[in-house]
Structure formats: structure tokens, C-alpha cells
Amino acid sequence: MFDTNQILHTPAFVLDYERFTRNLQLIKDLHRQVPVKFLFALKGFAMHAVFAELAETACGATASSLNEALLASPYFAEVHAYAPVYQDREFATIAALAKHITFNSLSQYEKHKNDCPNAEKGLRINPLYSTVETALYDPCAEGSRLGVLPEDLAVLPQGITGLHVHNLCESGARELERTLHSIEHHYGHLLSSISWLNLGGGHLVTRKGYDLELFKAVLSSFNLRHPHIQLFVEPGAAFVWETGYLATRILDIVHNRGITTLMLDSSFASHMPDCLEMPYAPKVVGAQLTQKGGYRLGGCSCLAGDWVGSYHFEKPPKVGDMLLLCDMMHYTMVKTTMFNGIALPDIAIVRDGLYQVVKSFGFDDYQRRLS
């Protein structure tokens, strides 16, 4: 752990560079052992201060918008684009930047297929398999707008060279195995006609306990059955899993009929929305989650539900204390808002024990976002 006395301004997203490089090394080692190319998904983490290191590890980056493609392009060897729907005014620029472009529907492909002659073109399919329990994150739910169903894809349209799925979320290798079986079951008639298959994100290979041997075996087995297909995975969270914190301070302590809330200078609604959307309560350094009788963590926005958890602390917390919320690199700073005019957290790196702010925000950022 670094010396937190170096943090003079909170809240702040803090990347632990040593942990970050350990994750990168694990992925590099894995890359050499499996017949799959790792792409980096900007949707999960877009801290371009470390894109050079990510570009040395990943074969390319995936972008879900024009802005992500523009941000990735100067750093990564290649950009792969997918969006649920493309805007006409942006598509030409995306096509000029992307090596692969995946379409969400047959109608989108028909509309844009002649506008991207130099790109490999693919279709997103719905594998009809998902273990995601939160409806907001389940791409295979009934009536999903994401991906083409097998009954609508008897044959591949001319010009399509690959398929793309995204159905996993912080999942294990067993879920990957079941995904591939479902693809072969529902779309097996198309596999002889494609040259690449993108298995999307959600492969949490850097999480402790992830079955890396099964991951390697599953992909190698698929490669033996379909040696002509180049496999891709595009994790976002895995590159930065457990590599950083949100540093925040206690500004007040509120009591309400036996419930005590630590009022923070950060907001779950504005800075860590996944905590409310999944929902989940993050780990906190020096504290343990408890079922009842603990302290809630309260955000600084006006939203009534801007709070999480019940925590027992090793030492009784007091106003002015700094808390470190763990694993706050992925799907945090890319999803922040300035609701209520709340300032965005600093973005910082700890390298060799030294804390450095690489980006801070103020009123100008809030003003520019509006009229």
C-alpha cells in the first residue's frame, strides 16, 4: 500500500501501476499459450495515460463509438468497431479508422456495407446463453435488441467474414465453454463460412481463482475443430481488475433511528454507478461488509438512494478520515456524470510509491458540457 498522505485532494481515482503491470504480464503470458488474440475494450477503461502499456499487450482495441475509435486509433495497432446502431454522420470516419466493423442487425449491414470497403465486416449474433442475473446487463434477455437470432440467419450475407458475440460479464472459463457450445449448436451451419469469431468481453482471466487451464483448453479445443477461424476476445475489466481505488473523505456522519451513514465527498450515482446498477457494495480498505449494524456509505448527490453497504471498521470512522474503495478502475471513470454539478474525481497514478495526478476537473468541465 502506498502512502495515502500524498493524496491532498479527494475524490480521486488512483491506479496502482505495479498491480496494473502484473495484470498486463499475465495477459501477455496467456496470449502466447492460446490461439486467441486479445483486444482491449475501451468501454471498460479509457485512461489514455496508460494506453501505451495496454497497446504493448493487446493486439488492438475495440470501440463502441466514434469517440472511442478516435481515442484508440493513435495508440493501438488496429481498431475493431461495434455499435448497436451507427450514426450516418459518423460512419465514414469510423470506417476509415476500423479494421473490423461489426453490425448489430442485417438492416444496418445492408445500409452501410458499401461504405466500408477496406474493413472486415461482421455480424453480432445472440448466442441464446447468458448467466447475467441483472436485466440491465443481460444481452440475451427476451426481446433483446442486441444481435441477430439464429432463425434470422440461415445463410451469411455476401461480404460478411466474421461473427461477434457478447454475453459474458465477469465470468469464468466454464461460461466461455458453454457459450462456444451454444454458438456451435445454434450457428454451426455458418462456421465454415467465417474466418473470425469475436467472443466479446467478460473474460475475467486476471481474477484470483479464474480457471486459466480450462480457458486454454476450451479455446484450443475449438481451434482444433475450426482451425480456419481466428478467435478474438475483448476484455475491458480484466486488464485493470483490482488495480486501483477511489480515494474519498468523510465529510459528515448522519444518524437516523439506528442507521449511521458516513457522508462522503464522492457519489455512487455520479462516480460509481455500477454499485447501484448491479448492485454491489465495494470492498473498503480497513473495513468489512456486515449484514446489519454497520455504517452505510453515503454519496454527496441529492439522489435519495445514493448510498451502499453496511460496513464494520477496524477503527471507528470520523469526519476527515480518508477511505479507499477497492477495484475502482473498470466501469467507473468511463461512466461518471456531473449530476448536481458534482465535480469529477481526479485521475491519478501511483508509480514506485509516488502519487501523481494526471487529470483534474473543475467548473470549466461542467460548464462546457452544457449550453
- From residue 332, alpha-carbon distances to 28, 162, 172, 198, 358 in Å are 25, 31, 22, 25, 16
Return the C-alpha cell found at 11: 475524490
Instruction: Look up the pTM and report it.
Output: 0.96
* String of DSSP letters for 259-327: EEEEEESS-HHHH-THHHHTT----BTTEEE-SSSSEEEE-SSS-TT-EEEEEEESS---TT-EEEEES
CA 213 to chain centre: 23
The superfamily CATH assigns to domain 33-240 is Alanine racemase (3.20.20.10)
**Predicted pLDDT at 363:** 96
Low-confidence ranges of the chain (pLDDT < 70): none
Domain boundaries, the chain: 4-14+244-328+336-369, 33-240
**Predicted pLDDT at 222:** 98
**Predicted pLDDT at 249:** 98
Per DSSP, the three-state class of 118 is: coil
**Predicted pLDDT at 184:** 98
Phi, psi at 26, each rounded to 5°: -60, -45
- The residues that bridge with 125 in the sheet, in sequence order, are 148
**Predicted pLDDT at 352:** 96
**Predicted pLDDT at 292:** 85
Return the C-alpha cell found at 192: 465454415
Q: What angle do CA 249, 252, 258 make, to 5 degrees?
A: 120
pLDDT in tens, 351-370: 999 999 999 999 999 999 99
CATH topology of domain 4-14+244-328+336-369: Lyase, Ornithine Decarboxylase; Chain A, domain 1 (2.40.37)
d(CA 142, CA 56): 39
Output the average pLDDT for the chain: 97
Residue 52 half-sphere exposure, CB side, CA atoms within 13 Å? Answer: 1
Q: β-pairing, 259-264 with 244-256?
A: antiparallel
